[in-house]
Structure 1
């Protein structure tokens, strides 16, 4: 059984915030006597003196200030709980789960999550960063609500969300840059930096493997760092190496054939028909973030 009700805590916080019992009563829509009684009940039931008289004014004691701060926190959490429950009643889940292929630009992903969280008091989004087929098992097992993936698997519905361009690059000091023109045959004599497929049923990446001298990593950031240090060459998403290209840490290879590549990414729903408002809101945030970034890129290109 609660010794002190939320209404009594509201009265205490109201008195401190308003600066007087009279103003607190007016703000709370209560009589001054009821507000005064509520504070007196808190003091009696906790054994803590909340206020002391200083001249003609009641001021917080040190203990009273500590109680007041905890009361404010309690009321704030109560308010958050009520709003979160209301959102869940409308179909906004307590947690949303998204599988995002590492080809999807992190800046756009973060912007989308910021957009989604902006109008929600409580939000939990769990992001699974996947490689190639890694998203498939997560969707099939119901472990994610949405996926940004390089294909739409059988039995699911998806829509194109963006196209990612890949450039063949290596460090400026890499031997391949000494050639006037690089062919696929030239690549076979050097280390190809590969990102490991995170799926249990790994897809065939034969078209992307151009050398038997492979060094396989689990993280894109590690592979890019290896390329910067001259360990090998690779095709990286242009959005991930923009800064490296500007600074000269990486340089596009002068390829004679099959140089630039591109991949279409899709937004795939686990349950497109029965998707909740929360899932749909996250999907729209992803679309909006992509459109926003695309319009900025287009404007930049017009001024180049």
Structure 2
């Protein structure tokens, strides 16, 4: 059965709601206001239902319009995904590969992998997104990236174990926690400022590790937390790869906890859609699997 409503008409309908009116919708779509009005009129005629009602000068969605809006969003998303899939399947090599990498893997390690990849695929551009916790998942779910390195595998995706990252608690050498004259307890930690790296997800769904200090310094990147610790401003649990040079130089010290304090987090390699992944995306994934655990 042939659809009664075209994708362009659904786009016009959604644009009016998203933009807040016919004029702004027309501007967003690059069409005349009369063309948008006609598309909505044709949609309502085809469906036999009113999708907007006038409240003063504003066009407000009817209850039926609200329901159709939610369904139309999924319809257009699927149409876009279908077109994207067709484009990828027809291309011999992707011109662009997008990678989301949780910042617990130092960017220089990921860049070494990208350098190896670039030698085999010099004409393919790479976009690297540095993300934190649920931010990586959001990019996968919204199909903003082709492949991701994440600490959790979102529902509906398949992840392959990549590596484990060990976190250690550290302070500056002159921090009070280094001079208590005894092992440090978690109760001691409550009384000093702790650095926390902010979840970059839209809804910031997750927290990791112990976060019960009375004072916190929340930052967006591990390197910012590292600077704060060097200044004696805070303590934190950070990945060992970020700490190696400072620990060897004595500019940071491990917190002498009374109980085992290191934390180990697994990371997974996740394709947005493995079946549609092209040769460049697959090769980048293989490089990441081969090189990252060895660094």
- Structure 1 residues 91 and 211: alpha-carbon distance in aligned structure 2, compared to 1, 3 A threshold: farther
Q: What is the CA-CA distance between 1:251 and the residue it aligns to?
A: 0.3
Which residue matches 2:188? 186
Q: How does 1:1-304 map to 2 (within 5 A)?
A: 91-179=92-180, 180-205=182-207, 207-293=209-295
Q: What is the CA-CA distance between 1:163 and the residue it aligns to?
A: 0.3
CA distance in 2, matches of 1:261, 1:292: 20
- Please list the CA deviations of residues 16-73 of structure 1 after superposition, one character each: whole Å capped at 9, or x if unmatched: xxxxxxxxxxxxxxxxxxxxxxxxxxxxxxxxxxxxxxxxxxxxxxxxxxxxxxxxxx
Which residue matches 2:61? none
Which residue matches 1:298? none
Instruction: Tell me if the contact between 2:159 and 2:269 (Cα under 8 Å) persists in the aligned partners.
Output: yes
Instruction: Tell me if the contact between 2:104 and 2:222 (Cα under 8 Å) persists in the aligned partners.
Output: no
CA distance in 2, matches of 1:195, 1:279: 29
Instruction: Tell me if the contact between 1:170 and 1:230 (Cα under 8 Å) persists in the aligned partners.
Output: yes
Q: What is the CA-CA distance between 1:273 and the residue it aligns to?
A: 2.4
- Structure 1 residues 196 and 167: alpha-carbon distance in aligned structure 2, compared to 1, 3 A threshold: same
CA distance in 2, matches of 1:269, 1:199: 18
CA distance in 1, matches of 2:105, 2:208: 21
Cα RMSD between the aligned structures? 1.7
Instruction: Tell me if the contact between 2:132 and 2:198 (Cα under 8 Å) persists in the aligned partners.
Output: yes
SS in 2 for 1:241: helix
- Structure 1 residues 291 and 195: alpha-carbon distance in aligned structure 2, compared to 1, 3 A threshold: closer
Which residue matches 2:19? none
Larger-Rg structure: 1
Unmatched segments (≥5 aa) in structure 1 = 1-87, 294-304
Q: What is the CA-CA distance between 1:158 and the residue it aligns to?
A: 0.8
CA distance in 1, matches of 2:278, 2:120: 17
Q: What is the CA-CA distance between 1:136 and the residue it aligns to?
A: 1.3
- Please list the CA deviations of residues 59-88 of structure 1 after superposition, one character each: whole Å capped at 9, or x if unmatched: xxxxxxxxxxxxxxxxxxxxxxxxxxxxx9
CA distance in 2, matches of 1:208, 1:289: 31
Q: What is the CA-CA distance between 1:150 and the residue it aligns to?
A: 0.4
CA distance in 1, matches of 2:134, 2:128: 16
Instruction: Tell me if the contact between 1:105 and 1:239 (Cα under 8 Å) persists in the aligned partners.
Output: yes
SS in 1 for 2:292: helix
Q: What is the CA-CA distance between 1:111 and the residue it aligns to?
A: 1.3
TM-score by length of 1: 0.65
Q: What is the CA-CA distance between 1:90 and the residue it aligns to?
A: 5.7
The structure 1 segments of at least 4 consecutive aligned residues displaced by more than 6 Å after TM superposition are none
CA distance in 2, matches of 1:234, 1:121: 39
Tell me how many residue pairs correspond in the alignment. 207
Q: What is the CA-CA distance between 1:206 and the residue it aligns to?
A: 6.0
Q: What is the CA-CA distance between 1:272 and the residue it aligns to?
A: 1.8
Instruction: Tell me if the contact between 1:133 and 1:203 (Cα under 8 Å) persists in the aligned partners.
Output: yes
Instruction: Tell me if the contact between 1:90 and 1:277 (Cα under 8 Å) persists in the aligned partners.
Output: no
- Structure 1 residues 130 and 158: alpha-carbon distance in aligned structure 2, compared to 1, 3 A threshold: same
